[in-house]
Structure 1
Amino acid sequence: MASSSEIRAVLFDYGGVLAEEGFFNGLRRLGREQGLSNADELPRIGLDVVYETGYVTGRGSEAAFWEQMRRRTGLRGGDAELRWPILEGFVLRPGMLALVRELREAGYRVGLLSDQTDWLDRLDERDHFYQAFDDLFISYRLGMGKRDEVLFDQVAQTLGLPPAAILFIDDNPGNVERARRHGWQAIRFTNEESLRGQLAELLGLSPHPNSIE
């Protein structure tokens, strides 16, 4: 890990870090509610399809995504009907948003780095979290996701920072490893308490949430 004097920017994943994981949980919920025998496989299939159709990188449409999901899994229902449980499942974690604000007030540049579709804009309209960040790096806008390793170099260039000055927080071990391969500092998120403990050691941040609203 870098020293606190080296780190200048902290980037957060959205689903599974800043918010509860709505995509995987929502697809699993849909499968179970519809009585599909492959319900527990829907998250894996959905992840493949959202990339294969190009929806997550802004190169394909939501309609194409759901069409493929219906064909490959047996899901039933219109696009809006299927979308709803996913958006509902993305529940913002107040403690994590408070942490973002603490870091920003402490002088760190804070950003969102997430593989998300245009659903993220809908979620921001509902929860108003974009305003807490200095930078937004969203796969739907970038035309690439965290599976594409060049993304990490391009984000560093956009920030105008050396890789070692960037700390990335993600719950996906593959994304964490890819970030590290490109010289970033990275923490695999498991829970808020553990993350705060690691940030206290690394950045001198308080291990206890403050009262920022």
Structure 2
Amino acid sequence: MRMKSRNTVNTAVFDFGGVLADEGFTNGLHAIAGANNIDPGKFALEALELIYSSRYLTGESDEHSYWDAVRRHTGISGEDKDFRDTILEGFTLREWMFDMLMELRRDGVRLFMLSDQTNWLDELEERYHFFHLFEKVFNSYHTGKSKRDQSLFNDVLACMNLNPETVVFIDDTYDHIVRARNVGLKTIWFQGRKDFIKEMRQYFPELKD
């Protein structure tokens, strides 16, 4: 039986890190900071801004250039491969979330991923094989735009011929939620499992726990 939805919502667009998986980038950066005996919060903020300003996130530069920029600006030492491995280990898939994806998919809900990621997301796909659950994966590394650019949301809607009133977007970054709302999407700001399931049931009442 097709899952009934309210407000004609029949499509869900999910962020990856912080929603479908633990926030591996932040977790990994904190681990790298610890290994270098520097403040993890400050380091994570600097490294986050550098992944945007270096344009690695949008596929306009490579990973080595990014880590070189991080080393120059923060003074850390280490090899690219070790940093990458630390980041990737920080992404733990949330089994309960993927159970929900499979339930939604069985019930005819259209599923997409919209993530500000690099080629690291492709490496995680090689490890865990989850892209098949989505009609399409939009990764900033391949789209050339991040979710800091509001036009990306319009691009996704146009690419998949979606009506924004039929789409719910889930993300753990509030600024991304605001941009999605600005183009007419329904939104859920992910802050934890219990509240998330409650909010999802506003659109898909038959969802299990």
TM-score if structure 2 supplies the norm length? 0.94
Distance 1:190 1:106 in 2: 25
Q: Deviations over 1:91-121 (max 9, x none)?
A: 0001111111111111110011000000001
Q: Tell me the residue number matched to 2:196.
A: 195
State the shift of 1:47 in Å: 1.3
Q: Tell me the residue number matched to 2:35.
A: 33
Q: Deviations over 1:53-89 (max 9, x none)?
A: 1111011110110000001111111100111111000
State the shift of 1:5 in Å: 4.6
Q: Tell me the residue number matched to 1:50.
A: 51
Q: Deviations over 1:105-157 (max 9, x none)?
A: 11110011000000001011111111111111110110001001100101001
Question: 1:56, 1:140 within 8 Å by CA — same for their partners in 2?
Answer: yes
Distance 2:99 2:208 in 1: 13
Q: Tell me the residue number matched to 1:78.
A: 79
Q: How does 1:59-138 map to 2 (within 5 A)?
A: 59-138=60-139
Question: 1:197, 1:207 within 8 Å by CA — same for their partners in 2?
Answer: no
Q: Tell me the residue number matched to 2:15.
A: 13
Q: Tell me the residue number matched to 1:142.
A: 143
State the shift of 1:207 in Å: 4.2
Give identity over the alignment, percent.
38
State the shift of 1:206 in Å: 2.4
Distance 2:157 2:31 in 1: 37
Distance 1:132 1:201 in 2: 22
Which residue type is aligned with residue 46 of structure 1? A
Which residue type is aligned with residue 17 of structure 2? G
Distance 1:18 1:34 in 2: 29
For structure 2, the residue ranges without an aligned partner over 5 or more in a row are none
- RMSD of aligned alpha carbons: 1.2
Distance 1:108 1:206 in 2: 12
State the shift of 1:39 in Å: 2.5
- Secondary structure at the counterpart of residue 16 of structure 2: coil
Question: 2:6, 2:202 within 8 Å by CA — same for their partners in 1?
Answer: no
Q: Structure 1: which 4+ aligned runs deviate by more than 2 Å?
A: none
Q: How does 1:155-166 map to 2 (within 5 A)?
A: 155-166=156-167
Question: 2:7, 2:203 within 8 Å by CA — same for their partners in 1?
Answer: no
State the shift of 1:42 in Å: 1.6
TM-score if structure 1 supplies the norm length? 0.93
Classify 1:205/1:73 alpha carbon distance in 2 versus 1 (closer, same or farther; 3 Å).
farther
Q: Tell me the residue number matched to 2:169.
A: 168
Distance 1:29 1:195 in 2: 28
Matched, 1:24 2:26: yes
